[in-house]
Structure 1
Amino acid sequence: MLLRLPTSVSEARQCLAEGAVPIGGATLVWAIWQRDGFPELAVSLREVPEANLVEREAVGAAVLLSRIDERVPDVLRLAAATVGTGAVRRTATVGGNLVGSTLRCLLPAALVLDARAKVLDSHGVHETDLAEVVAKRPVLLSLHWRTPVASAYRKLPADTGGPPPLVVASALHADDGGGSGLRVAVRDGYDVLSGTATVDDGAGQTLQALRGTALGDLPAAAWEVVGPQVTALLEEPAGN
Structure 2
Amino acid sequence: MLLGLPTSVTEARECLAEGAVPIGGATLVWATWQRDGFPERAMSLRELPEANVIGPEALGAAVVLNRIDDRTPEVLRRAAGSVGTGAVRRTATVGGNIVGSSLRCLLPAALVLDARATVLESDGLHETDLAEVAAKRPLLLGLHWRRPIASAYRKLPGEAGGPPPLVVATALHADGAGQHRLRVAVRDGYDVLSGSTPCDTGTGTDTGTRTGTGADAEQVLHALKGTALGDLAATAWEVVGRQVCDLLSHPGSH
State how 1:136-147 maps to structure 2 within 5 Å: 136-147=136-147
1:239 is displaced (CA, Å) by 5.5
Identity %: 75
Any idea what SS the aligned residue of 1:238 has?
Answer: helix
Amino acid at match of 2:234: A
State how 1:16-95 maps to structure 2 within 5 Å: 16-95=16-95
Preserved contact between residue 108 and residue 168 of structure 1 (Cα < 8 Å): yes
Partner residue in 2 for 1:222: 236
Partner Cα distance (2:62, 2:56) in 1? 17
Structure 1 residues 7, 239: closer, same or farther in 2, change over 3 A?
Answer: farther
Amino acid at match of 2:172: L
TM-score (norm 1): 0.98
* Structure 2: segments with no counterpart, 5+ residues: 201-214
Partner residue in 1 for 2:162: 162
Partner Cα distance (1:165, 1:145) in 2? 26
Equivalent residue in structure 2 for 1:206, among 220, 225, 242:
220
Range with bigger deviation, 59-68 or 33-42: 33-42
Partner Cα distance (2:130, 2:15) in 1? 24
Partner Cα distance (1:195, 1:38) in 2? 41
Partner Cα distance (1:28, 1:91) in 2? 10
Partner Cα distance (2:253, 2:58) in 1? 17
* Deviating 4+ runs (over 6 angstroms): none
1:177 is displaced (CA, Å) by 2.2
Partner residue in 2 for 1:113: 113
CA distances 1:48-85 after superposition (whole Å, capped 9, x unpaired) = 00000001100000000000000000000000000000
1:118 is displaced (CA, Å) by 0.1
Amino acid at match of 2:39: P
Preserved contact between residue 6 and residue 45 of structure 1 (Cα < 8 Å): yes
TM-score (norm 2): 0.93
Preserved contact between residue 149 and residue 239 of structure 1 (Cα < 8 Å): no
Amino acid at match of 1:222: A
Total equivalences in the alignment: 240
CA distances 1:151-195 after superposition (whole Å, capped 9, x unpaired) = 010000011111000000000000122200000000000000000
Structure 1 vs Structure 2 CA RMSD: 0.8
Amino acid at match of 1:208: H
Partner Cα distance (1:113, 1:56) in 2? 11
Partner Cα distance (2:35, 2:102) in 1? 19
